[in-house]
């Protein structure tokens, strides 16, 4: 896991060294263990390393005999199998990323088809005078780019492109509307005008500073659900999950698990214990004063039952007030998901505990049918309920018009072929919600602390099995993730597989309600909010924050985000100090 960046000039001149230094420094938190740089033929590749595999010889860039050079952010989990299949290849290191550059020289721009892992890769090919960028099919690892009249540039985070002076820190009104109405933004365009995402599964070819070719590797298989009996389904589920978990445990540094106490992380605890054969280190987060949504004590109980070592941390309202500006600053590609708060705290605790790698449960809901919106797409409920995300968080606010345009495109793309309505809803989430909310949150909240998050459910082998399960094995009348729950009930009976889903939700409403009047005034006066949301609506949102926390949190998050990423205010103060400085 690392931070990568680079430049290709249009005229072939060497990139400006000051520009490269700024890019490198802006990504320093992603790679505290070393730096690498390649300059040739008007191209620069930069690499800030977080050393996980091959600690001694795995520095990047990595080279192939034909001259191709690679920098990468991620983990290639089938590294061992790839090396075995490429007997006689003159590898120079044990790096999990090295086979990719040899695959490129053998297979060209289709090289990523062979990769099993999470990755954002950049390859400079001097013979063909081109740059190639590739991103994993689920979008677990981020990658962004921009084009100007002078150059093409890319980076692991858009804030690095802004920090380098390549693009002004302004806001796209349509993406702002999406963020406030949906909690995340869709598609290739980011909230920073001119900065685009390399889409999940996309490979770009750049020549002379221009994108000349695009390819896309699908995350999901084609086709409708396929019938399978319960016994066969449970056996195959266990096989694919154990296989994925085992390869996700390949590491030369200590690893652990984020355990919420819910279905997904409990399943991972059982799988990791079986695959590793050792005592697992677990972290969980609770809330000061407990409450109905605090499952950390349940997580402690489950860890004890599985023989794991558990570290419970507790987030308080004081922590929220002190750290929320820094958390919003870390999420440069913004998502107004309140789960960023405990995720950031867990990343901080993991680093303090000496963990560089943590396994996480992201992706299980999307692949195995965990959300109620999936059950509602089965007959007869789909005839009685509206499709998901047809109503924005702030209703039909005129100043937030156009917020569904990206979703409409995603809905059209997902509805191809003969997928069931439930599969279509899953595919929409996997194309947009998953990479642009959940995985972006996980990446930034952990990498700001120099910690790698791994997601065993988001694996091509797992997805190939799970997505084509019968709808009835995903969503029942009362429960989602029917098959996964049935497996957990057998594999880890103490986990309460048929308990109701609670989610990883901090009591942010109560925290904001304690200072509702002050927050309402400060947020309403923040310039980024003032230009788009009427002050009376802002105050009303904070007045009802305890009963309906999301509108107030979305406004507060955006105010803090805008203060850092547009106004340039230091996020080191508490909420009141940062917002006061922004007025």
Residues within the annotated binding site for L-glutamine?
96
Residue closest to 400 by CA, chosen among 519, 537, 196, 513: 537
Q: C-alpha angle 337/341/344, rounded to 5°?
A: 115
Identify the helix (H) or strand (E) that includes residue 383: helix 381-384
Rounded to an integer, what distance in angstroms lies between the CA atom of residue 516 and that of residue 547? Answer: 12
Dmax of the chain from CA atoms?
A: 70
Q: Are 160 and 26 in contact (CB under 8 A)?
A: yes
Rounded to an integer, what distance in angstroms lies between the CA atom of residue 431 and that of residue 219? Answer: 9
DSSP structural state of residue 279: P
Instruction: Give 402-444 as a DSSP string.
Output: TTTHHHHHHHHHHT-TT--HHHHHHHHIIIIIIIIIIHHHHHH
DSSP structural state of residue 14: P
DSSP structural state of residue 71: E
Question: Cα 268 vs. chain centroid, distance in angstroms?
Answer: 18
| Dihedral pair phi/psi, residue 162, rounded to 5° | -70, -45
Residue closest to 160 by CA, chosen among 52, 281, 73, 258: 73
Rounded to an integer, what distance in angstroms lies between the CA atom of residue 283 and that of residue 310? Answer: 6
SS3 (DSSP) at 308: coil
**Residue 2 among the catalytic residues:** yes
Question: Cα 267 vs. chain centroid, distance in angstroms?
Answer: 20
Three state DSSP letters for 76-95: ECCHHHHHHHCCCCCCCCCC
Catalytic residue among 2, 162, 310, 360: 2
Rounded to an integer, what distance in angstroms lies between the CA atom of residue 130 and that of residue 208? Answer: 7
- Catalytic sites, residue numbers: 2
């Amino acid at each position: 896991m690392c931070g990568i960046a680079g430049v290709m000039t249009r005229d072939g001149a060497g990139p400006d060294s000051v520009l490269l230094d700024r890019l490198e420094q802006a990504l320093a938190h992603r790679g505290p263990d070393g730096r690498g740089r390649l300059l040739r033929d008007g191209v620069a590749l930069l690499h800030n390393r977080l050393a996980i595999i091959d600690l001694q010889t795995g520095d990047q860039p990595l080279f192939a005999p034909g001259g191709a050079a690679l920098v990468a952010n991620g983990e290639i989990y089938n590294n061992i199998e790839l090396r075995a299949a490429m007997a006689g290849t003159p590898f120079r290191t044990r790096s999990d990323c090295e086979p990719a550059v040899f695959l490129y020289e053998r297979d060209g721009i289709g090289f990523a088809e062979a990769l099993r892992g999470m990755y954002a890769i950049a390859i400079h090919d001097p013979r063909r005078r081109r740059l190639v960028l590739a991103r994993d099919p689920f979008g677990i690892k981020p990658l962004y780019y921009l084009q100007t009249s002078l150059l093409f540039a890319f980076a692991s985070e858009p804030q690095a492109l802004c920090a380098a002076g390549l693009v002004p820190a302004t806001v796209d009104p349509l993406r702002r509307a999406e963020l406030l109405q949906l909690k995340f933004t869709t598609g290739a365009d980011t909230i920073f005008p001119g900065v685009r995402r390399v889409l999940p599964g996309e490979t770009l070819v750049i020549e002379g500073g221009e994108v000349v070719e695009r390819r896309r590797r699908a995350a999901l298989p084609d086709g409708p659900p396929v019938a399978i009996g319960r016994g066969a389904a449970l056996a195959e589920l266990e096989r694919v999950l154990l296989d994925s978990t085992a390869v996700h445990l390949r590491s030369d540094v200590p690893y652990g698990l984020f355990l919420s106490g819910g279905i997904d992380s409990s399943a991972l605890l059982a799988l990791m214990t079986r695959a590793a054969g050792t005592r697992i280190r677990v972290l969980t987060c609770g809330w000061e004063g407990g409450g109905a949504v605090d499952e950390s004590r349940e997580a402690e109980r489950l860890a004890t039952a599985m023989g794991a070592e558990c570290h419970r941390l507790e987030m308080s309202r004081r922590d929220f007030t002190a750290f929320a500006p820094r958390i919003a600053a870390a999420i440069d590609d913004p998502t107004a998901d309140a789960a960023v708060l405990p995720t950031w705290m867990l990343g901080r605790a993991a680093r303090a505990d000496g963990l560089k790698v943590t396994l996480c449960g992201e992706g299980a809901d999307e692949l195995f049918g965990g959300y109620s919106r999936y059950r509602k797409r089965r007959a007869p409920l789909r005839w009685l309920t509206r499709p998901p995300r047809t109503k924005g968080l702030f209703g039909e606010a005129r100043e937030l018009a156009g917020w569904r345009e990206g979703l409409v495109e995603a809905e059209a793309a997902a509805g191809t072929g003969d997928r069931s309505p439930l599969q279509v809803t899953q595919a929409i989430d996997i194309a947009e919600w998953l990479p642009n909310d959940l995985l972006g949150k996980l990446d930034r909240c952990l990498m700001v602390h120099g910690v790698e998050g791994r997601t065993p459910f988001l694996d091509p082998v797992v997805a190939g099995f799970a997505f084509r399960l019968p709808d009835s094995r995903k969503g029942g009348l009362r429960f989602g993730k029917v098959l996964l729950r049935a497996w957990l009930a057998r594999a880890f009976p103490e986990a309460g597989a048929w308990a109701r889903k609670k989610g990883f939700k901090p009591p942010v409403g109560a925290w904001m309600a304690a200072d509702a009047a002050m927050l309402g005034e400060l947020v309403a006066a923040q310039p980024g909010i003032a230009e788009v949301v009427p002050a009376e609506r802002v105050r009303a949102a904070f007045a009802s924050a305890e009963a309906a926390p999301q509108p107030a949190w979305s406004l507060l998050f955006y105010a803090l985000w805008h203060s850092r990423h547009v106004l340039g205010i230091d996020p080191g103060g508490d909420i009141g100090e940062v917002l006061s400085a922004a007025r």
